[in-house]
Structure 1
C-alpha cells in the first residue's frame, strides 16, 4: 500500500516515463522530422540539475556531482546497485568519471516532466570513443527521478543502461 501522496506521484511519473519509452520503441528507426517532441522541459530546474550532474561527472568534479544527489539515492547500472550518494561517490563514481572523460556522448533525446516537488528525466544518448583499449559505440538510456528539497532539486534515483 502506498504510504503517501509523494509515493503515488512518483509511481505515476515513472509509469508515464515507461509508457513514453514504449512509444519511442514502437516505431523502430523511423525518421521523425519534429524534433521538438524529443526535447521537452529542458529549461526546467530539474533538467538543469540533471545537466549539471552530467557535466560534473564529465569534468571529474566529484564535489558538485555528490552535492546534486540525495543522500539516499539509489543507482542502477549494469546490473549493479548503489544505495546511497556516499556509496556511489566512494566507488563507482570514479569509474563513471573516467569513462565519460574518455568518450564523446551526444544527447539524442531529453524529456523532463515535473509534478509538484517530484520530477523525472528520460534521455537517450549516443556514445563513441575508446575506453581501456576497447572501442565504444553504443546508445544509452537514462531515467532519473528528482525531488525538490530545501536545498534545491536532488537526484533520488538513476537507472542507466545501454
Structure 2
C-alpha cells in the first residue's frame, strides 16, 4: 500500500528530472549555436572580410560602436567596416573570452578581447600598429531556429 502512495511522487520526480535535463541540454545547444555565430563573425573580421556576415544579422539590426550609432549592419558594412578593412594588413584578436546567457528566444553576449591591427603602409611606406583592449555586447534573436545578431555594441581603449 505504501508503494502505491509513493508511486505518483516517484513518477513526478522522474518527469521533473527528465524535463530539467532536457532544458539543460537545450540551453547548452543554444549557447553553442550563439558562440558559433559570434565566432563566425570574429573569424571574418580577422580574415579582413565581411563576406557572408550579412546572414548573421537580423534585417533590422543595429550597430553601435564607441559611442556612435552606425545604423543597420548592412549600412555599417557598406559605409564603415567594409571600407575600413581595406586599409588593414592584418586584424587579430587575443585574450578572447565570451559569456553567453540564453533566455528563451533571446541571447545576450559579452565578449572581451585585445585586438591588434596592422595598417597597410602609406605612400611613404610607413605602417602603423594599433593595439587596444575591447569589449562588445550583443543581443541575438532566435528566428526560425537560427540565431541572428539583432543589436551589437563595441568599444575600446588603449592597452596598458
Give the structure-2-normalised TM-score: 0.65
Structure 1 unaligned residues grouped into runs of 5+: 1-39
Determine if the alignment matches structure 1 residue 142 to structure 2 residue 130. Answer: no
d(CA) in 2 for partners of 1:70, 1:46? 14
CA distance, structure 2, for counterparts of residue 148 and residue 99 of structure 1: 34
Q: How many residues align?
A: 123
Contact 2:63 2:71 (8 Å CA) reproduced: yes
Question: For 1:46-61, what aligned pairs fall within 5 Å after superposition?
Answer: 46-61=34-49
Distance change in 2, residues 1:51/1:79 (3 Å): same
Structure 1 match to 2:150: 156
Q: Any idea what SS the aligned residue of 2:58 has?
A: strand
Gaps of 5+ in 2: 1-27, 121-126
1:37-96, Cα deviation, whole Å (9 max, x unpaired): xxx999611111111111123224434111111111111113321221321221112145
Equivalent residue of 1:64, what SS? coil
Match of 1:11? Answer: none
Equivalence for 1:78: 66
- Check the 8 A contact 2:135/2:154 in 1, yes or no: yes
For residue 126 of structure 1, what is the aligned residue in structure 2?
Answer: 114
Q: Residues of 2 paired with 1:99 and 1:144: CA distance?
A: 26
Could you say if the C-alpha distance between residues 96 and 43 of structure 1 is closer, same or farther in structure 2, counting changes exceeding 3 Å?
Answer: farther
- Match for residue 14 of structure 2? none
CA distance in 2, matches of 1:76, 1:47: 20
Bigger radius of gyration: 2
Provide closer, same or farther for how the CA distance between residues 78 and 100 of structure 1 changes in structure 2, counting only shifts above 3 A. farther
Q: TM-score, normalised by structure 1?
A: 0.65
CA displacement 1:79-119 (0-9 Å, x = unmatched): 32122132122111214534775232114321111111100
> Residue 18 of structure 1 aligns with which residue?
none
RMSD: 2.6
